[in-house]
Amino acid sequence: MTCEKLQAFLPDMLLDPAHVPADARQHLRECSNCERDWKELQNTMLLLDTWEVPEPSPYFDTRLAARLREEKLAGSPGWMERVRMRLLFGSNLQLRPLMAGAFALILVVGGGSYAGFVSLNRPIPQQQQKVSATVKDLELLDSNAQTLQQLAAFDDTSVDSSAPSSLSN
Ligand SMILES: [Zn+2]
């Protein structure tokens, strides 16, 4: 057997020694180069056996869970909450009806796709994804109701402010 042929048998000698032909073993005993290669391969495998995957720090899971909870709490209101706050407490009062109308339109047009977009971009398990989509729908309904209330309130105030003048006439 040549050295080249024996090299092809080296993995078999490790993994499946029973199927290695006798002349390969014979070559190992006679050829110091191949014997050295064989020893090196064995040592490498022994080294790999002793290697252990490092354990994560005991606080890793706790910290990750806390971080996830924070993200969940902080992330869910998102831009919708910010726009609503701006709508409620913004200083541009003359823009309010315009913003309210635009906001209602955004909710109607973009609401469904927004919920889908969010759940697509977050690696949430299937079941939670359904729940969060439902929660999002409820939030949208709630926001819509509030927007409609604000629109109605604006109509009321505009009627009220014009009421005295119409009464005096
Ligand atoms: Zn050899």
pLDDT in tens, 45-70: 888 888 777 777 777 888 888 888 88
Predicted pLDDT at 30: 93
* Distance from Cα 50 to the centre of ligand 1, integer Å: 29
* Distance from Cα 2 to the centre of ligand 1, integer Å: 6
Predicted pLDDT at 148: 77
* Distance from Cα 16 to the centre of ligand 1, integer Å: 20
In the numeric block, which tokens belong to residue 16? 């499946």
d(CA 98, CA 87): 10
More confident residue, 135 or 10: 10
Predicted pLDDT at 23: 92
Count Cα atoms within 13 angstroms, Cβ side, for 136.
23
* Distance from Cα 33 to the centre of ligand 1, integer Å: 6
Predicted pLDDT at 109: 61
Helix (H) or strand (E) segment spanning residue 107: helix 96-121
Three-class SS state of 93: helix
The tens digit of pLDDT for each residue in 129-164 reads 556 666 777 777 777 777 777 777 766 655 554 445
* Distance from Cα 43 to the centre of ligand 1, integer Å: 18
Predicted pLDDT at 125: 55
Predicted pLDDT at 122: 54
Query: From residue 164, how far is each of 150, 155, 156, 158, 161 by CA, in Å?
Result: 22, 15, 13, 11, 7
Task: List residues, by chain if needed, whose CB lies under 5 Å from ion ligand 1.
Answer: 3, 31, 34
The tens digit of pLDDT for each residue in 86-138 reads 666 665 555 566 666 666 666 666 555 555 555 555 555 555 555 666 677 77
* Distance from Cα 17 to the centre of ligand 1, integer Å: 18
* Distance from Cα 7 to the centre of ligand 1, integer Å: 8
* Distance from Cα 23 to the centre of ligand 1, integer Å: 11
Predicted pLDDT at 166: 45
* Distance from Cα 4 to the centre of ligand 1, integer Å: 7
